Amino acid sequence: MLKINNLHATVEDKAILNGLSLNVNAGEVHAIMGPNGSGKSTLSQVLAGRDDYTVTEGSVEYEGQDLLEMSIEDRARSGLFLAFQYPIEIPGVSNAYFLKAAVNAVRKHRGLPELDAMDFLQRVKAEMKAVGMREEFLYRSVNEGFSGGEKKRNEVLQMALLEPKLAILDETDSGLDIDALKIVADGVNRLRSPERALVVITHYQRLLDYIVPDYVHVLSKGRIVRSGGRELALELEEHGYGWIDEEAAKGA
């Protein structure tokens, strides 16, 4: 589903990703961990297609297509979902309007009929209940004035409604309380399916107590330096990231 090969990327002429390779198949849950500044968020921004990040080498294939050639809109329409560390606020646009437009754009791309207002409301209300959001959040501007936890719920709501093929979540390094962690984990776990792949990017092992990944990768200085099963996350929890950087330095 996703094939990242030897990806190099720069931000403001600074090399951040230095030959990152990763394969993700349908049905798999991958965790990408790594110390602060190792390039985790840069990877998610490059996959999202943000134009302040420049790919200088390598390739990214998504469902057989060259992802780097796809527009941001096409990426979303074709089932790629990205949740960012800092969700955007859209003043003046109601959450209901935004969600309905997003859902229908994806449905259209999949050759499904648009949801009308009634069907949409029914679906969105059921999903809101699942993430513990009150209905008033439908009529507020997207993320404006939402607390951290409310933004998280909203992000998981978006993800559930869009039914992505590949969801990539870049989780904040700090400030996620246990409730927020569980919201994210429940959302991810509900989406697990043989047709779908999930990539969870996180600094902390704690999230992975709730989302049990099939594979764990460790990013250091813009490359994956270690891959393994979930036990690798436990090792990191125990020993920190220092030994990874030492190993990476030896290998280099």
Q: Cβ contacts of residue 71 below 8 Å, gap of 6+? A: 49
42 binds, among ligand ADP, Mg ion, none (CB under 5 to 8 A by kind): ligand ADP
Q: Among the candidate windows 29-37, 56-64, 127-135, 155-163, which touches ligand ADP by CB under 6 A?
A: 29-37
Q: Which is nearer to ligand ADP, 37 or 228 (CB)?
A: 37
Residue 90 contacts residue 142 (beta carbons within 8 Å) = yes
Q: Is 40 in the site for ligand ADP (CB under 6 A)?
A: yes
Residue whose CB is less far from Mg ion, 10 or 41 = 41
Tell me which of ligand ADP, Mg ion, none is bound by residue 39, counting a contact when its beta carbon lies within the kind-specific cut-off of 5 to 8 angstroms: ligand ADP
Site string for Mg ion, 152-191 (x = CB under 5 A): ---------------------x------------------
Told to check if 40 binds Mg ion by CB under 5 A, we report yes
Selected binder of ligand ADP within 3, 5, 11, 109 (CB under 6 A): 11
Counting contacts by CB under 5 A, is residue 42 touching Mg ion?
A: no
Decide which of ligand ADP, Mg ion, none touches 16; Cβ closer than 5 to 8 Å per partner kind: ligand ADP
Site membership for Mg ion, residue 41 (CB under 5 A): yes
Residue 79: which of Mg ion, ligand ADP, none does it interact with, CB under 5 to 8 A by kind? none
Q: Tell the smallest beta-carbon distance from residue 174 to ligand ADP (Å).
A: 11
DSSP the chain: -EEEEEEEEEETTEEEEEEEEEEE-TT-EEEEE--TTSSHHHHHHHHHT-TTEEEEEEEEEETTEEGGGS-HHHHHHTTEEEE-SSPPPEEEEEHHHHHHHHHHHHHHHTTPPPP-HHHHHHHHHHHHHHHT--GGGGSSEETTT--HHHHHHHHHHHHHHH--SEEEEE--SS---HHHHHHHHHHHHHH--TT-EEEEEES-SGGGGTS--SEEEEEETTEEEEEESTHHHHHHHHH-SHHHHHHHHHH-
> Residue 34 or residue 49: which is nearer to ligand ADP going by CB?
34
Q: Rule CB under 6 A: is residue 231 a binding residue for ligand ADP?
A: no
Q: Which residue number places its CB atom closest to Mg ion?
A: 41
Nearer to Mg ion, 45 or 154 (CB): 45
Which structure tokens are listed for 233? 């996350």
Which of 191, 190, 187, 160 shows the shortest CA–CA distance to 171? Answer: 187
Could you give the CA distance from residue 88 to residue 71 in angstroms, rounded to a whole number? 19
Residues at the site binding Mg ion, with contacts judged by CB under 5 A: 36, 40-41, 173
Residues at the site binding ligand ADP, with contacts judged by CB under 6 A: 11-12, 14, 16, 34, 36-42, 52
